[in-house]
Amino acid sequence: MSMNSGFEVRSFKEIDSTNTYLIEEAKQGARDGLVATAAFQTAGRGRQGRTWEAPEGSALLVSALLRPVMSPDEAHLVATAVALSARAAIEQLSGLRASLKWPNDLVVEAAKIAGILGEIAPDAPGGSDGSIAVVVGIGINLSTEGPPEAKGTSVLAQTGSAPSPDELLDQFLAELSTRRSMLDEPEGRAALLAEARSLMSTLGSQVRVTRQDSILEGKALELTDGARLIVLDDAGERHVISVGDLIHLRPR
């Protein structure tokens, strides 16, 4: 265990999943600001039961347990704070400017350089002070581009060199500590949303959204305050998308 930018960091050589670990810790009452990082995950998780893959030492794999004072409807902003912090840290260390892709990826052009998984911890003690327990994990590709079929990218592939996972962790936590305090206040949350809107390449792009029972194509117009995406289809009808997988057909 060590302290870093106000976070308590637990570092593992190998773990099943840093998100799974922190959800268990949250159930046991672990405090706001507990961070877990690992050189390798044996069961790294994506969204909707998918897997996240990274060879040992090839990526920053990190999760944070945060207990912001907010309603559960706003929990998506915790993932937004993590995405923005990672984006800023990558730029500071490598000069590379990734953008946000709805709902929760960091991309360089169409290729994914980082994936984010946000989860509300079940049975969290929370409560009395109005806080909720949220675990957000991120995998940032330093020298791996992920499985070939994912067509991802990495800091190394984009810039010819990459910081170490530890260097990126320090910078990421410094950025996250600034944004952590913004989560507790309505003005701070509005500022995070504004930053996300300005960096989201999805907005203005032609997109295809795969939902459980349908596929929608159109232009992504807006991000709502609730992190839903407004898509205008070719017939001029507006759709509000809350979950789904999205492909950028033509970047803005």
Site string for ligand BT5, 117-146 (x = CB under 6 A): x-------------------xxx-x--x-x
User: Rule CB under 6 A: which of 143-172 touch ligand BT5?
Assistant: 144, 146-147, 150, 152
Q: Residue 8: exposed, middle, or buried by beta-carbon count in 10 A (0-12, 13-18, 19+)?
A: middle
Which of 33, 68, 115, 165 touches ligand BT5 (CB under 6 A)? 115
Residue closer to ligand BT5, measured from CB, 15 or 223: 15
CA atoms within 13 A on the CB side of 190: 3
Among 112, 180, 189, 248, binds ligand BT5 (CB under 6 A): 112
- Least distance to ligand BT5, CB of residue 56, Å: 13
Specify the residue for token string 């609730």: 226
Tell me how far apart the alpha carbons of residues 40 and 54 are, in angstroms, rounded to a whole number: 7
Task: Tell me, by CB under 6 A, how many residues bind ligand BT5.
Answer: 29
Structure token digits, residue 141 = 């590709």
| Window 39 to 68, contacts with ligand BT5 (CB under 6 A) | 41, 44-48, 50, 52-54, 61, 63
DSSP 147: S
| Residue 218 near ligand BT5 by CB under 6 A | no
User: Which residues, listed in sequence order, are joined to residue 233 by a DSSP beta bridge?
Assistant: 218
> Can you tell me whether residue 5 is helix, strand or coil?
coil
